[in-house]
Every structure is written in C-alpha cells, then in structure tokens.
Amino acid sequence: MQLWPSSWTGENYRQAWQQGQFLLAFFNSALVAIAVTGSQVGTSLLAGYALARYSFRGRTLVDVLTLASLIIPMPLLVVPIFLILRSLHSINTYWAIILPTAANGFGIFLLRQYIRGLPVALEQAAILDGARRWQVLWYVVLPLCRPALTTLALFTFIGEWNDLFKPLMFTTKPELTTVQLTLSSFQELYTANWSLLMAAVVIATLPVLVLFLLGQKSLLQGLMATGLKG
C-alpha cells in the first residue's frame, strides 16, 4: 500500500467546488453566521451588563433560567420553534435560520462573568464625570469587554457555520443551501464519493480555520478572564 501519492492534483477540489456550488453556500452561511453573531454579541452584552451591575427583583431567577437554557437541546424545541416561525411566515427564509439562535444563554453568562470581573470604580468615575449609563456601557465597558466579545463571536460564528440542524429543519429552497447542507449532498444513502467529500470538507473548513487563527489570542484571553470572579 502506498501512503505517499505519486502525483499531486487539485482536480477533486475543482470538481467539489463546481458540484457543490460552494459560492452560493459560502454566501448563505456567511450571511447567517454574521447576522447571528452580531445579534448574540449585542444581546449578550446588554443582558450580561444588566445581570452583572443591576440589582432587581428576580435577578437570581433570571440567572438560573439563563443557565438552564444551556442544557436544553435544539431538537427538543424544534416543534415550538417551527410553529412560531410558521406563524411569522418565516419558513424557507433567512429568518428561519437566524431567529432561533439570535440570543443565547451561553453568551449572556459569558459576558455576565466577564463584566463582574471588571473594576466598578471605572464606571463610577465616569458617572461622576457626568456620563450617562449608556455612555458608560459604550465608552468604558465595551472596550474592556473586547476579549470576551471576541471569544463569543468566534464561538458563535463557527457554531453557525457548522450548523446543519436549522437549515435542514426550516428550509427546503435550494437557494438557501448552506455549507453543511452542501456537504451532506456529497453523501448518498449507502455510498459516498470519498475523494470529493474530503475535498469539500477541506473547502468548507478553510474559512473558519483562518478566522480561528486570526482570533486565537483574544479567544484565550477571553476564556481565561471569564473565570476570575463568580
């Protein structure tokens, strides 16, 4: 058995790119991943800041519900989500892939933990200088939360890029095909063209690999800092 190929060729990559229509799949996956990432970053920052800095009745219950949402798998919610999306006339649209994960308990918990580790004196000094609460959040807290936000953005983008469940459950239109649906099209019921499939997997992995390499420093900083204070 020969382990090292006698000649190198990119034919499988060319065929996989053409057969899978990866240009459309990349566009759809990138659009959905960017939209969900932006939504989760925004909602997690606002909710995390409120839970970390404000004292209000029921805050402990909100914390518990946020953590409890992490253990509920998406397949368990597929029927109620489908019914809600159908009532909104969002089935077979981009909204069907974006809305179910527009907010996430993991992101809220991550930002809550990170903001709790930030010195309150910085915010108090800004308030004494006349800053409003939204200005404190935008000009003081947001810059300090960049490592945590980068961590959340990377996790969310990669998770959405690799998501097969939502496109498979809530869309049927070929023009809404994502990268993961494209990869599944290379597999038949009992057989698979492994050469094209492996080439397609490499093509689909390259964008998230490059993204991870660019943001790995901030990712590690965010993961280490979020456990400083409970």
CA–CA distance, 201 with 199 (Å, rounded to integer):
5
**169-180 pLDDT tens trace:** 999 999 999 999
The whole-number pLDDT of residue 176 equals 92
CA–CA distance, 97 with 178 (Å, rounded to integer):
10
> pTM, whole model, 2 decimals?
0.85
The whole-number pLDDT of residue 217 equals 72
User: What CATH number should be reported for the domain whose range is 13-225?
Assistant: 1.10.3720.10
The whole-number pLDDT of residue 228 equals 45
For the chain, what are the domain ranges?
13-225
The whole-number pLDDT of residue 230 equals 43
Residues in the chain with pLDDT < 70? 1-3, 5, 188-191, 218-230
